[in-house]
Amino acid sequence: MCCILHLTSASKILKDNVMRRIVLFGLVIGLMTTTSWAELDCPPDSSYHIDMRTMLPDGSPNPTYGQEIATGLCACMGYVDGIEINGNEVTFTIRIVDNEPIRGVELDIYHNFADLTYTSVSKGEKLENVTDEDGNPRNMTLLGNWLDDHVKVLGYSTSRARTEGNGEEGDLMHVTYTLPEGGVLPDEVTFYFGLANLPGTSMDPELLNVVCAYPDEENPASVSTAVASADAESIIPEKFALLQNYPNPFNPSTQISFDVPEGAEYVILSIYNLLGKNVNTLVNEVLSPGRYTVEWAGNDIINNEVASGVYFYELRSESFVARKKMLLIR
């Protein structure tokens, strides 16, 4: 079996002896989740920062010390309005619009519901799919810890990893808390960031802070604790899109997601090696609108394992073509 294709609708497709299991978006066995996104409004303007450097790198006095200076393009953060529940664990998702690449994250997260005990933090798609300046896959470390009355989150990289910085909204991280036995969530939980730093790439990463909007103490986020299934109409993509595969690098398999809008056309998803040779074709058909996820097991068209190395995956239709890079490590 070369791949498994998941679509966000309630139908099934059987083609070329490849079974593609279709699941309703937002429904996972043992896990309930809302589908509301943060829908952040984040203008791609310059952000500003008080320059606290007394000297420049060459040792000369800093002429802009104490002044407000432009330090990069805006990034904005917010909460998904809804939660994931798995047993007595409750997960809240923070999303981001990164108008330019960011190299890390530092957050102090406060909430107003004492029965929630911090458990863990995990990377969202924005921090999973990071590369260096040349587009090579890299890794970003994400750590979290409870400090007195808030969660301290720190994301960093020793390999100059950076997000894509494409100006699109995506999941930054997922923060999980535990409820005590018999605990009941209120209708809403209020969150705010006491500290919000996003080191960027336009200038010295120790100076650059591109956060233009986020829930702070004066304007906190009231996050609904409702758990809801998806409305099929709300998940029809407006345009074609090819997402970064996950995990990346990978072994033995990886998942590739892409969006198909209304007015579906013939869609081809292919895998190529560095020489440009087509090693496998995962999708080759007309698809209904929705988000699809294909699993590639690192094999060729006749199901032989391919060697370690860099591969490209390409989504092509009559009106759209996009290609991304991934790394297979055996």
CATH number for the domain harbouring residue 264: 2.60.40.1930
Domain with 39, as residue range(s), is: 31-224
Dist CA 274 CA 280 (whole Å): 13
Task: Clarify whether residues 192 and 48 are in a common domain.
Answer: yes
Cis peptide before 43 (omega within 30 of 0): no
Mean pLDDT of 235-242: 81
Query: Which amino acid does the sequence have at 156?
Result: Y
Find the mean pLDDT for residues 88-102. 91
- Tens-digit pLDDT profile for residues 141-184: 999 999 999 999 999 988 889 999 888 999 999 999 999 887 78
**234 has a pLDDT exceeding 50:** no
Q: In this structure, are 103 and 209 located in the same domain?
A: yes
Q: Are residues 14 and 61 in the same domain?
A: no
pLDDT at 56: 77
Comparing CA positions, the residue from 230, 236, 238, 257 lying closest to residue 246 is 257
What Rg value do the Cα atoms of the chain yield, rounded? 22
**Largest Cα–Cα distance in the chain?**
70
Question: What pLDDT does residue 125 have?
Answer: 93
Residue 22, class by beta-carbon neighbours within 10 Å (0-12 exposed, 13-18 middle, 19+ buried)? middle
Tell me, yes or no, whether 202 lies in a domain. Answer: yes
Q: How many domains does the chain have?
A: 2
Residue 310: pLDDT over 50: yes
Average pLDDT, integer, range 68-74: 79
Last residue of a domain, one of 189, 224, 259: 224
318 and 191 housed in the same domain: no
Q: How far apart are CA 190 and CA 177, in angstroms?
A: 14
Residue type, 23: V
Best CA proximity match to 202, nearest among 99, 123, 97: 99
Distance CA 21, CA 322 (A): 24
Query: With bands split at pLDDT 50, 70 and 90, how would you rate the model's confidence at 204?
Result: low
Average pLDDT over residues 216-229: 81
Classify residue 55 by its DSSP letter. Answer: B
* Angle made by CA atoms 166, 171, 241, in degrees to the nearest 5: 50
**Could you report the per-residue pLDDT of 295-306, keeping only the tens digit for each?**
999 999 999 999
